[in-house]
Structure 1
Amino acid sequence: MDGAGRRTARHLLRPALPAAALALAGCEGRQSALDAAGVSAQEILATSWILFIGGAAIFLMVMALALYAAFVRPERFPGRRAWVIGGGILFPVVTLTALQIHEFALARRLATLAPETAFVVEVTGLMWWWDVRYLVPGQEPLRAANEIVLPAGRPVELRVASADVIHSFWVPSLAGKIDMIPGHVNRLPVVAQRPGLYRGQCAEYCGAQHALMAFDVRVLPADEFDAWMAAQRRPVPEPPTPELARGRDAFFALGCQSCHAVRGTEADGLAGPDLSRIGARASLAAGTLPTRVESIAAWIAGAQHIKPENRMPSFDVTDSETLHAMAAWLESLK
């Protein structure tokens, strides 16, 4: 290639390099099937690469043969019937049958529960949030919402169901997706291998706010998970400042305890998410907003504006100081 050709090639490749970098960056992150951090996700990723590479190889081979047939004289293309039978019938049948057997075996492995699991996590999908219960043998069930915490390296069984319409539970970095069907419990074994924060979402259209129905999965080292579990069972502490005490009192004055629960207080509502440790969660309202004092206050005052048709009414009758105090108290629950 001469100098002009090299300059032209560089000119054509220059705008493509940032696009390629962005495309590769999209393969990473806390919600990517290409960034496998669980046993099931790794098996799914390996099968995906087999299908992708195999499909690309078949495509290139077929296109090469098509070009050869198009540009070579007929007398130099012997065995035309054998090519049709072998390449058009036998090869696809054998290849697709082998892939189908592999996928059946993979699906069976992904659905097989471990003989002994560390504990069970019940996840119930609602319009539009996630109710979570940890069922540990010998202990009282522990309730949470919109976030699941798992120990790294320990097999856990997820039992998923729906309280209203069909939802779909999917954490691409940890496992495959599974439907959540009203009146039916599906089981999904999960072994998270790498600590970190991963994002999941509802993968089945379930109504107007389907796009705002996400959740976080926090994977902790095994010893940190045990400490976390013990801390979750403790009642929330008394507010250390007058402002936080005012916020707690406003929470009960507005009747929030009729829908929400806060461990260690008289709030024991079941209609809405458990708020016992809401300040430690990465997001609130099922992944809609980051967990900060300002966003909690905005959600309390304008839940129907931020996420229309959800079951949380907007409490826009409270003065700004009381609203800020209540949001600060909730954010302090960690």
Structure 2
Amino acid sequence: MKIARASLLVAHLLLLSGCTGDPQSALNAEGPSAMELRGLIFLFVAVCGVVFILVMAVMVWALVRRKNQAPRRPQTERSMGRAVGAAIVATFIVITLLTIASFYTTRSIDWREADTATIVVRGQQWWWQFTYLDADPAKTFLTANELHIPVGTDIRLRLEATDVIHSFWVPNLTGKQDLVPGRENELTLHASKPGIYRGQCAEFCGLQHSHMALLVIAEEPEDYDRWLEAQRSAAYEPTDSDAVAGKLVFMNKPCAACHAIRGTGAAGTSGPDLTHVGSRSMIGAGLLENTRGSVAAWIADPQTLKPGNNMPLVPLTGEELRQLSAYMSELR
């Protein structure tokens, strides 16, 4: 268990340091929406900086002038009144202009036209489910926590929530948008260059809110098409003897009641689809690096690693755990 906790710490340090790709920052914009938001941030900082400097200058001038000034006269009082009135008008104008700039920036983000099929993003406690829709239902598939998109293309996301309000936020690519139970919101995602961009839930959603991360993997169109074809296929049949035995463990234990693996009898819907779980870089919504040891630690005691999550403790022998982790690692 100490090894699992150490792996958890290393994974978080890697994510926060930006080792999975570009540093997570709204100022490190790599998409049109993020660039517009960055411009809005710079505008706010510049205007507020100028206002701060002017206020400080006027305050210093007033203090110096008051020290050397004779007793107030009526004309002095009138001058001060005009100055205060001018300041109120200037404040109103600045706030109005910033509000208009904010409105149009937000509107331009929400109304971008998407070029490709919609991806349904569903927030769960505490992980992300992605459904890649296709006109042919046989080509529609589900994955979890890692969102692949082609570079240079506007991707329309349909945002939904199962349980509580979540918020989808990938700072490098776009702004925040809430996922509200019973309501569909939309967001456009666009990456200008290949890379791995970290995001997370930005709305407090319960005990493990801070452990609800996601990765957006932006790929060249040809690489994305290859990934799509691989994900649409059924799960690979295991070849390693431990993995073959692990498949039997999975099917005979409660695992198959909660998780789906296409091409097998497992068709559960309450947990992430595991058809190609071995191809993902992280498990537990960014909690641990996806290694066989991490998978075994998660299966052995998910409540210690992520207290409150919906995966129950499944009693397994050491041999069954070894076999099951081998099977999960082969699902690529």
Supply the AA of the counterpart residue of 2:100.
I
Name the counterpart of 1:243: 242
Supply the AA of the counterpart residue of 1:118.
T
Residues 1-334 of structure 1 mapped to structure 2, 5 A cutoff = 29-72=22-65, 73-74=68-69, 79-86=79-86, 88-114=87-113, 116-138=114-136, 140-315=139-314, 317-334=315-332
Structure 1 residues 203 and 138, CA gap change in structure 2 (3 angstroms): same
Name the counterpart of 1:3: none
Structure 2 unmatched ranges of 5 or more: 1-16
Name the SS for the 2:122 alignment partner.
strand
Q: Is the 8 A contact 1:30 1:197 kept in 2?
A: no
Q: Is the 8 A contact 1:126 1:162 kept in 2?
A: yes
Give the distance between the partners of 2:281 and 2:52, measured in 1 at CA: 44
Name the SS for the 1:165 alignment partner.
coil
Give the distance between the partners of 1:74 and 1:138, measured in 2 at CA: 82
| Bigger shift: residues 187-196 or 151-160 | 187-196
Give the distance between the partners of 1:327 and 1:38, measured in 2 at CA: 38
Offset of 1:81 from its aligned partner? 4.1
Offset of 1:29 from its aligned partner? 4.1
Offset of 1:325 from its aligned partner? 2.1
Name the counterpart of 1:15: none
Name the SS for the 2:88 alignment partner.
helix
CA-to-aligned-CA distance 1:254-309 (integer Å, 9 cap, x gap): 13111111122222211110011212212111112111111110110101121122
Q: Is the 8 A contact 2:140 2:232 kept in 1?
A: no
| Bigger shift: residues 245-254 or 184-193 | 245-254
Supply the AA of the counterpart residue of 2:50.
A
Structure 1 residues 30 and 264, CA gap change in structure 2 (3 angstroms): farther
Give the distance between the partners of 2:121 and 2:303, measured in 1 at CA: 25
Offset of 1:80 from its aligned partner? 4.0
CA-to-aligned-CA distance 1:163-218 (integer Å, 9 cap, x gap): 11111111111111111111111011121212111121111111112121121111
Offset of 1:251 from its aligned partner? 1.3
Say which structure, 1 or 2, has more relative contact order (CA 8 Å, 6+ apart). 2
Supply the AA of the counterpart residue of 1:35.
N
Give the distance between the partners of 1:96 and 1:208, measured in 2 at CA: 37
Supply the AA of the counterpart residue of 1:58.
V
Supply the AA of the counterpart residue of 1:276.
T
TM-score normalised by L of structure 2: 0.86
Supply the AA of the counterpart residue of 2:116.
A
Give the distance between the partners of 1:113 and 1:46, measured in 2 at CA: 17
| Bigger shift: residues 233-242 or 35-44 | 233-242
Give the distance between the partners of 1:111 and 1:282, measured in 2 at CA: 30
| Bigger shift: residues 200-209 or 44-53 | 200-209
| Bigger shift: residues 170-179 or 134-143 | 134-143
Supply the AA of the counterpart residue of 1:55.
C
Q: Is the 8 A contact 2:171 2:199 kept in 1?
A: yes
Q: Is the 8 A contact 1:117 1:156 kept in 2?
A: yes
Structure 1 residues 34 and 66, CA gap change in structure 2 (3 angstroms): same
Q: Is the 8 A contact 1:216 1:282 kept in 2?
A: no
CA-to-aligned-CA distance 1:75-124 (integer Å, 9 cap, x gap): 7x9854443232x122212222111111111111111040x521111011
Offset of 1:319 from its aligned partner? 2.2
Supply the AA of the counterpart residue of 2:83.
W
Name the SS for the 1:331 alignment partner.
helix
| Bigger shift: residues 173-182 or 136-145 | 136-145
Give the distance between the partners of 1:143 and 1:57, measured in 2 at CA: 50
Offset of 1:225 from its aligned partner? 0.6
| Bigger shift: residues 128-137 or 288-297 | 128-137
Offset of 1:240 from its aligned partner? 2.1
Name the SS for the 1:175 alignment partner.
coil
Name the counterpart of 2:10: none
Name the SS for the 2:238 alignment partner.
coil
Give the distance between the partners of 1:99 and 1:260, measured in 2 at CA: 48
Q: Is the 8 A contact 2:22 2:195 kept in 1?
A: no
Supply the AA of the counterpart residue of 1:171.
V
Offset of 1:135 from its aligned partner? 1.1
CA-to-aligned-CA distance 1:49-98 (integer Å, 9 cap, x gap): 110121112101110111111113347x9854443232x12221222211
Supply the AA of the counterpart residue of 1:254.
K
